[in-house]
Structure 1
Amino acid sequence: MADHFDELVAEADAASVDGWDFGWLDGRATEQRPSWGYARSLAGRLGRARAVLEVQTGGGEVFAEALAAAPARPTLAVATESWPPNLARATRLLKPHGVAVVHDPDEPPLPFADGTFDLVTSRHPVTAWWADIARVLAPGGTYFSQQVGPASVYELVEYFLGEQPSENRNARHPDQARDGLRAAGLEVVDLRCERRRIEFFDIGAVVWFLRKVIWMVPGFTVEEYRGPLRRLHDQIQAEGPFVAHSSRMLVEARKP
C-alpha cells in the first residue's frame, strides 16, 4: 500500500500542469458541468459579434473550442494572458482561429482603447475588473463569463487547511458580482450560481489538481502535505472517492 501511495503521488507530482486543460484527470476524477453549457453558449454569441476580447484565457482551450463551434467568426478577436507557459500554449491554439494573443498582467488597465469590443468574455478569471471591462465595451456591448463561485471545492480546501472564516467562504458571491457590475454602469442580464459534484478517485488526482489550481491550498507541495495526503489516500482506499462540490457562476451583463 505504501508503494502504491508513493507511485501515485510521484506520478502526479511530475506531470505537467501547463495550460488549462484537465485531461490528465480523465478516469481519475469527475466533475458535473453547469446546466448552461458555457462553451456552447459562448459559441453562439461569438457568431454574432464583430470585435471580441477574451480576458485571462489561460491556455486558450475553451475559447478555441467555442470559436471552432461558432457559426461565424468575429472580424477582430483578441485574447489576454499573463503566465508565459499559458501564453505560449494559447498562441498555438488560438492563432489558427485568427486570434491575437496579448501578454497582459491581469490587472487594469487593459491595453485597449475605450469602446473597442462588442463582446468581452472570460472563463474562470482570477479577478474581474468590472470598471475596466465596462471601459473597453462598446455601447450596447456584452460581457459574458463563467466564474468560480463561493466556497468552491471547499471540502478539499478545508481537509488540508481546516475550517475557513466566513469572509473566505463568501468571497466571489453572486451578490458581490451584481454590486460590482452595477457600480461599473453595467446592466445585469443573467447572474446565477450552481454547485456541482466532484469525485476524486485516487490521491494522484488530488495532488495534480492542487498543483494546477494553486489558489486552493496556497503553497501546496507534496513534501509539505505528505502526512495529510497519506491519510486521504487511506480514506479513499477504504471508503471510495473523495467527494467535493465546485461552485460555478454565470455572468452576463450589458453596457447601456
Structure 2
Amino acid sequence: MTMDKQFHEILSDTRQDFSGWDFSYITRTGRMGSQLLSWSYGSMAIPLIRKAKSMLDMGTGGGEFLSLLSPFPKEAFATEGYLPNVPIARKRLEPLGVKVVQIEDDFNLPFQNRQFDLILNQHESYSPEEVRRIIADDGIFLTQQAGGLDCREINEMMGVPLNEEFAHWNLETAVMELEANGFEISTRKEEFPIQRFYDTASLIYYLQAIPWQIPDFDPEKYADPLYEIHQIIRENGYFDVSQHRFIIQSRPK
C-alpha cells in the first residue's frame, strides 16, 4: 500500500509519553472527543463523598480525577495496581488527605471487614465478594465501567478480536454478580456513546495508553490499517468508534 508523506511523518513523530490517567494531551486540544452520557459519575460521586465518614477509590490511576472531588472524609484511601502510577497518585492525593495503597490482587485487598461506608470505582476491575467484605453494612458502592464492546470498531479495523476475557462484561453480568454477593441495586444504566478521533496520531496515542485494546499494538506493525483510518479521517474529517459504558449504584442488602 502506497502511503503519503503526512502519514509517514505521523508514524515517525508519535508522542508516547503517558503517565497517570490523563488524556488531556488529546482531549484538551480537541483531537479526541466523546458523546455525552445521560449521567455524570462525578455528579453522583460528590454528594456521596460529602456524606461519607470513610471512603475508598479503587484504581485511582494518577489521582487526576479523584483530586477534583475534594474535600474528602477524614478516612480516605485510594488503590492503584499499576506501579508507575503510584508515586504520581501519592504526590497528588496525599496532600489532600488520601492515603494511596499499591495493590496486586483484586481478591485480597489490605483493608478491614466493613471498613468503608463509600467505595468508588471508575473503570477499574473489582471482586464483588471482596467489595462486599470491606464495605459497611449501610455503605454505598458506585462504579462506572467500560464494557466488553468498548471501541470495537478499532479492533475491527485492526483485524484483532476483542479480548475474550472481557467480551461478556456488561451491565447485566455486573448486576448479576453484585446481587449474587449480597448487594441490592438502586441505579443501573448502560449506553454506547460515540468517541471521535480527528487525527490518526491521537488514535495512536490513545492505543499506546490502553494496551488491553490491541495488546501487541505498535504503529509500524499496524501501519496498513492505520493508514486506512488515516484515509477515512482525510475524507470525513474524523473516525468514530462506539464506547461501552455502564453505571451501577448499589448497597448491601
**Shift of the alpha carbon at 1:46?**
0.4
Which residue of the partner structure matches residue 172 of structure 2? 175
TM-score calculated relative to the size of structure 2: 0.92
* Amino acid across the alignment from 2:140: T
Matched, 1:16 2:17: yes
**Shift of the alpha carbon at 1:97?**
1.3
8 A contact 1:77–1:99 mirrored in 2: yes
Identity of aligned residues (%): 29
* Amino acid across the alignment from 1:30: G
Which residue of the partner structure matches residue 86 of structure 2? 87
In structure 2, what is the Cα distance between the partners aligned to 1:220 and 1:239? 25
Match of 2:188 among 187, 191, 196: 191
8 A contact 1:39–1:65 mirrored in 2: no
CA distances 1:100-125 after superposition (whole Å, capped 9, x unpaired):
00110142111101010000111101
Unaligned 5+ segments in structure 2 are: none
Unaligned 5+ segments in structure 1 are: none
Matched, 1:137 2:135: yes
**Shift of the alpha carbon at 1:7?**
2.5
Cα RMSD for the two superposed structures:
1.8
8 A contact 2:16–2:208 mirrored in 1: no
Change (3 A) 1:164 1:79: closer
Match of 1:245 among 229, 242, 245: 242
In structure 1, what is the Cα distance between the partners aligned to 2:172 and 2:8? 43
8 A contact 1:161–1:217 mirrored in 2: no
SS at match of 2:52: coil
8 A contact 2:149–2:167 mirrored in 1: yes
1:105-116, aligned counterparts within 5 Å?
105-116=104-115
Which has the larger helix fraction?
Answer: 1
Change (3 A) 1:98 1:193: same
Which residue of the partner structure matches residue 32 of structure 2? 29
**Shift of the alpha carbon at 1:31?**
0.7
* Amino acid across the alignment from 2:12: A
Change (3 A) 1:241 1:169: farther
Which residue of the partner structure matches residue 3 of structure 1? 5
Matched, 1:218 2:215: yes
In structure 1, what is the Cα distance between the partners aligned to 2:172 and 2:142? 17
8 A contact 1:59–1:89 mirrored in 2: yes
* Amino acid across the alignment from 1:18: S
Change (3 A) 1:55 1:97: same
8 A contact 1:40–1:66 mirrored in 2: no
8 A contact 2:143–2:248 mirrored in 1: yes
8 A contact 2:155–2:213 mirrored in 1: yes
* Amino acid across the alignment from 1:173: N
SS at match of 1:47: helix
